[in-house]
Amino acid sequence: MEDKKTWSPESSSNPSAYETDMHNVHRTFARRLAESFKRDPHASVTRSASFSASDGKGYDAEAAAQATALSPLLRRLKGRHLQMIAIGGSIGTGLFVGSGKALAYGGPASLLLAFSLTGCMMYCTVQALGELAVLFPVAGSFASYSTRFLDPAWGFAMGWNYALNWLTVLPLEIVSASITVDYWVQNVSLNAAWVSIFLVLIVLINFFGVKGYGEAEFIFSVIKVTAVIGYILLGVLINIMGGVDSAGRPNASYLGFRLWHHPGAFHNGFKGLCSTFVTAAFAFAGTELVGLAAAETENPRKALPTAIKQVFWRITLFYVVSLLLVGTLVPYDDPRLLNGRNSADAKASPFVISIQNAGIEVLPSVMNCVIMISVLSVGNSAIYGSSRTLAALAEQRQAPAFLAYIDRKGRPLYAIIVASVLGLLGYLAATQKQQDAFNWMLALSGLSSILTWASICLAHIRFRHAWAIQGHSLDELAFRSPVGTIGSWVGFIFNMLVLIGQFWTGFAPVGWQNMSVSDRISNFFQAYLAAPIVVLMYLGYKTYMKTHVLLARDMDLFTGKREFNVRVLVAEEKADRKRWPRWKKLYKFLPRSPRFHLHRFVALSTSASQPWKIQAYFRQNPSDTSQPDTSHGVSHTIPPPYSAAPRSANPWKSPPTVSVQRASSSKPLVSASLLNAESDVDVGDDDDGDGDIEPDAFDVVVSTIKLSRSVG
């Protein structure tokens, strides 16, 4: 064998590693570009041998979970990307334009009530999704959770339902973007040209990978958020001094809630309110993308909880406050609210109408520009959402295998191509039957978001049940939904009620007395066509693959679970501290935090059938026996095969030992018998004085728990 240290051209005819690397460095741009589309040779093969080679009927749930957990998607999204996706990701035509139709059908009070209640439901749903996504940041996200915690057949139906939603939304949004241009240039013949421009732009963004999507969404969201905040400030000023006299002349009077009295707060009664809920659900669509992006986020444990907390402020500020102002500035009987060509026509936007009513000439064009950017943002999300969902379905063997191809840049290449090709349907804008075609395309996914949110809530409820049944505690969760399973039940029931309301308003819509029978039938199927399609997909897959509803004890709670390495977390926190501004470093330096000491270990088992757990207890002063123990900090479930042993049949001849060590050293500070450990080890600080040991202040951490056993 040749000695690499003494290699020379004279001693060997083979090229050196250095020359090979230099050759790679000097590759042409075209070659580097071509090779970027190849699969990463160092990536793990995500489809297990048993999964790929399985034949006949039957679904391999374990292999499917492994495939989504080991997906070669790259983690390139940063916390700022995720936060802006959460804050402004779903702000779009549903808010800017769709709210006008809701205002016309239900009145300002119905508009405010529907968006507020839907926002509460959305908050509960996103919290549940956050808990699952932090623990299981797997490809496919909520569709995979349905497969794992509900029924593989339902996961199949939900995955394809969600993918079809985005696949049909893309051409619709491209056409909508071209229609926004008509606000300035009244030339229908140019629509095909604008469709081409917008389609190429959106496809190029997604071919830059997840980083391209994240940066584009960051910019789009900043613009949308700035526009909404600016409108709120402007709306307050218009409300205070934008009144008119009886002849319609501006007189700078206070408007207040004058329009809530005349023409009124409600319109079309309870049916008007129900129709408004459907519009509100459409406006919040896309909020769940923050969970889908977890599989491509650098640090989901830290970034996801922060981003999810922003949803509350988005709901409160951007939806509730802005629509409250809209309801005070635009009467629901304004004919312009129903005169839009489609869901992106700025002429039907209550935001634009309120500015026009105030006599401001420039800002309506600015608002139309914001609407166009919002439409492009939705189109960008459409390719991202559909391609990632299709790739995850293929990895679980629920879609054609070629869609699972992910190149070395982390792009689901063929899935992106499929989504982009379907974007060519946007050229239907140049045909005479474009509206009919788009209405039926939209009908395929009309209930997608509602069904997706209901499935997320139900999956969270089932997960929590399985988590408890299999002997885990909530203290083991890195992020816990603050509204818990109660919030998930609220979200699930609310979504079911919206589905019922959609059925009613689809069967007998507002103004159905003036509609022909054929128009009513067409309206019903356009509103509810997605429901029978989902049911058929579920029953067909269930019958063919012979799947069943999963029992709590059989659910897989380990595959794809993100293990939180304390050493890594401490290193991350130290790196974050170095980036703190000086005022924060000074703030953290001044107070002296109370010290905590490791006091004792105990083995926990609530019943003879429950697995053993190790719990560490701490005291500020270990010699003070009157001081209560605090169990904050460490709780570890003994992994299989030890966890199968009930406490009545202890398999150990001697108790397990627990090792506590520093984050920077592998030498244990204490190695004590589990059942009688008494030690004095400084393990951390209480930064904020709330009695909890703060993870970012650990000087000594419990990073390894060693189990020693000898079974006779």
pLDDT in tens, 9-27: 334 444 444 444 445 556 6
> What are the start-end ranges of the E strands in 257-373?
none
Ranges in the chain, pLDDT < 70 = 1-27, 29, 32-38, 40-58, 186-190, 243-252, 339-345, 429-438, 445, 562-574, 577, 583-712
What ranges do the domains of the chain cover? 75-161+209-357+430-544, 566-701
**Per-residue pLDDT tens for 252-263?**
678 888 889 888
pLDDT of residue 188: 58
Task: Check residue 22 and give its pLDDT.
Answer: 47
Q: What is the pLDDT of residue 519?
A: 79
Apex 233 CA angle, 230 and 238, nearest 5: 120
- For the stretch 513-543, pLDDT in tens is 777 887 788 778 877 888 888 999 999 999 9
pLDDT at 689: 43
Q: Please count the other Cβ atoms lying within 10 Å of the Cβ belonging to residue 315.
A: 22
Distance CA 133, CA 87 (A): 17
Per residue in 376-418, pLDDT tens? 998 899 999 999 999 989 888 889 989 988 888 888 999 999 9
CA-to-CA distance for 178 and 176, rounded, in angstroms? 5
Q: What is the sign of the dihedral through the CA atoms of 221, 222, 227 and 229?
A: positive
Joined tokens for residue 218? 């960051």
In this predicted structure, what is the pLDDT of residue 496? 93
Quote the pLDDT of residue 649.
34
Q: Report the predicted TM-score, pTM, of the whole model to 2 decimal places.
A: 0.74
Question: Which alpha helices (H) appear in 190-264, and where do they start and end?
Answer: 191-207, 209-241, 258-259
Q: How far apart are CA 291 and CA 82, in angstroms?
A: 9
